[in-house]
Chains A and B, each alone.
Chain A
């Protein structure tokens, strides 16, 4: 058990810190949340800056430990996270890298790394959420193209994306996991309608996407026809690794800010408030150690982080909601003022126990795949 970083790792950290100290102050002001084209421009410019500085591929080819250092330092420096590059860097990109042909990797990976193209995700459907394998958007082969019809939901960045990683049903007669295919759909193809989806936080973070006989070239299929479920699992296990490392760093900073507010407004003198914040301090410290634990495990077996990520996500998503609830207790009635800090975040955080696998699904995964309990309902 060694928590000290090697000289090489510390040198990486120090070089990155030096670079961030120059790069972050040069960033333009963050665009307003509703201005999607401006957000895209901001996020892709940052990815380009990372690429030019040699950090473009950090999510893919760095060792898990270096990736952890990268996420820790960029968050500390106040640098943006992946933003609009999320799907390209953390979902579609890794999938294409693992399952694509040489031509496909050549075509798609470079533009993602340079921030030239961004991707969105067309997986969930109105009737296929936790039960993703029940998806019904259909694709029918017609010559050198698939003709795709159906609807998708929770598609972030759809308005400004160049490509969509799309799951479609190509064999309705096959067992449900065996009739699915993974396609890269060009977002400028005719027949795509995108409608913003307003969340309970009031913003349009997501979109619905309606597909009406959209033609997707067969050359855009990654993996074999009807093998899309397996192809997709490569992506999903990738998501549950170090993906939240930066957010844990951010949570620890937010907690310190909440404590500062509590001391300023006197609620710190209430032992119940103080102890609640104290407990959260221990929670997030432990969650950081759990990330280090998972990273060490991933580094040793050379594989992508797997079910250990479910344990982490269950606790993290709950702790983060608890953080904003505690902040609301500190704020008192001011927690009803949406212009105060943490009030919008409190609303947004309600999605954490739902997105990327609800807590209930995660508990099934933990119980069945780690603890070995029987499948069933």
Chain B
């Protein structure tokens, strides 16, 4: 047993972080907010060329032949950077929907968020996830919804689609949990940096225990979620994946809330990025598997363990 990242996994993670820092830094993030979440198709294609969507396809199909653990590391970085777009749906569609793997197509999924669909406005293809490969469906007369998250345009479908299910659902839940984990880690870092910089009463506010303890609890939630997400990526066990989502949702949402609290009044402004992490994590918490569903899955596992 050696739970640590391999050298290749570390290299993959830092490669993705470099790419996202270069191509989706703070300016690009705020530009995306100003575009109300409309996608930058050049960036999408670049993500495709970098292998973000084809990561898990066999090398014979133009993929990198990597597994869920590596994909989870990549999506952790995407979550850190608040990278917008139907990243998970497009990765699930790579290999079956033309253009998904190389980033020439944007694929979104119905049934991951009840009757709401994310990024329909930019999507070339709408799919549902059930038995077998993603199934292409028509959107019909979808109505735009005023989205809580400025980086995720939402539409409401006229007829509620079937809820996502089947063999691809585990990966969808896990990769979303990985994004939550990345967001939680980022909120922790941002809160710690702010607490070290911001001076009140003649000292950095991070010197006060009340603030310090908020930050410590953020780290604890993040590290527990990290162990859960990474282990679930390795085992692929559906119960463990659901548990990881539960803990990662918590780490991301509560982390963003606590980060906002540490930022004080500045955290309440549009200008600070804190609310972007909060809103995105609230959205992801509803995606693919809700808290209630995840807890019920845990309860079932517990009941069958008797």
Q: Which residue of A lies closest to B225 (CB)?
A: A286
Residues of chain A contacted by B224 (CB below 8 angstroms)? 283, 286-287, 290, 311, 315
Minimal beta-carbon separation of A256 from chain B (angstroms): 5
Q: Which residue of B lies closest to A9 (CB)?
A: B1
Residues of chain B contacted by A293 (CB below 8 angstroms)? 3, 226-227, 230
Please tell me which stretch of B27-35, B88-96, B202-210, B278-286 contacts chain A, meaning at least 4 of its Cβ atoms lie within 8 angstroms of it.
B202-210
Interface assignment of A55: CB less than 8 Å from any CB of chain B: no
Residues of B bordering A, CB below 8 Å: 1-6, 9, 69, 188, 192, 195-196, 203-204, 206-209, 211-213, 215-217, 219-220, 223-228, 230-231, 233-235, 240, 242-244, 246-247, 292, 294-303, 305-306
Using A1-B5, A282-B294 as known contacts, list a sample of 6 further A-B pairs with CB atoms less than 8 Å apart, ordered by residue number in A: A1-B3, A255-B302, A259-B303, A296-B4, A370-B219, A373-B215
Q: Give the distance in Å from the alpha carbon of A360 to the alpha carbon of B214 in the complex.
A: 11
Residues of A bordering B, CB below 8 Å: 1-6, 9, 65, 255-256, 259-260, 263, 268, 271, 274-275, 277-279, 281-283, 285-287, 289-290, 292-293, 295-297, 299-300, 308, 311, 314-315, 360, 362-364, 366-368, 370-377
Q: Are B196 and A279 in contact (CB under 8 A)?
A: no
Q: Which residue of B lies closest to A65 (CB)?
A: B1
Q: Give the distance in Å from the alpha carbon of A331 to the alpha carbon of B9 in the complex.
A: 47
Minimal beta-carbon separation of A68 from chain B (angstroms): 8
The contact of B2 among A282, A289, A299, A375, by CB within 8 Å, is A299
* Known contacts A275-B295, A286-B244, A374 near B206 by CB under 8 Å: yes
27 interchain pairs, CB-CB under 8 A: A1-B5, A3-B234, A256-B302, A256-B305, A268-B303, A275-B296, A278-B298, A278-B300, A282-B244, A282-B246, A286-B227, A289-B228, A290-B227, A293-B230, A296-B2, A299-B2, A308-B223, A360-B209, A360-B213, A363-B212, A364-B216, A372-B196, A373-B192, A373-B212, A373-B215, A374-B196, A374-B207
Residues of chain B contacted by A377 (CB below 8 angstroms)? 207-209
Give the most central of B207, B224, B225, B235: most A CB within 10 Å. Answer: B224
The contact of A1 among B4, B244, B296, by CB within 8 Å, is B4
Q: Are A374 and B216 in contact (CB under 8 A)?
A: no
Chain B facing A: main interface SS: helix
The contact of A279 among B4, B215, B223, B246, by CB within 8 Å, is B246
Q: Give the distance in Å from the alpha carbon of A255 to the alpha carbon of B305 in the complex.
A: 10
Residues of chain A contacted by B305 (CB below 8 angstroms)? 256, 259
Minimal beta-carbon separation of B83 from chain A (angstroms): 23
Q: Are A286 and B204 in contact (CB under 8 A)?
A: no
Q: Are B243 and A363 in contact (CB under 8 A)?
A: no
Residues of chain B contacted by A297 (CB below 8 angstroms)? 4
Q: Are B235 and A3 in contact (CB under 8 A)?
A: yes
Q: Give the distance in Å from the alpha carbon of A4 to the alpha carbon of B192 in the complex.
A: 35
Q: 7 closest A-B pairs (Cβ-Cβ)?
A: A376-B207, A282-B243, A278-B298, A278-B299, A286-B228, A363-B216, A367-B212
Minimal beta-carbon separation of A331 from chain B (angstroms): 17
Q: Are A311 and B299 in contact (CB under 8 A)?
A: no
The contact of B216 among A277, A279, A371, by CB within 8 Å, is A371
Q: Give the distance in Å from the alpha carbon of A85 to the alpha carbon of B216 in the complex.
A: 33
* Known contacts A278-B297, A314-B220, A285 near B228 by CB under 8 Å: yes
Minimal beta-carbon separation of B303 from chain A (angstroms): 6
Minimal beta-carbon separation of B250 from chain A (angstroms): 9
Residues of chain B contacted by A275 (CB below 8 angstroms)? 292, 295-296, 299
Q: Are B302 and A286 in contact (CB under 8 A)?
A: no
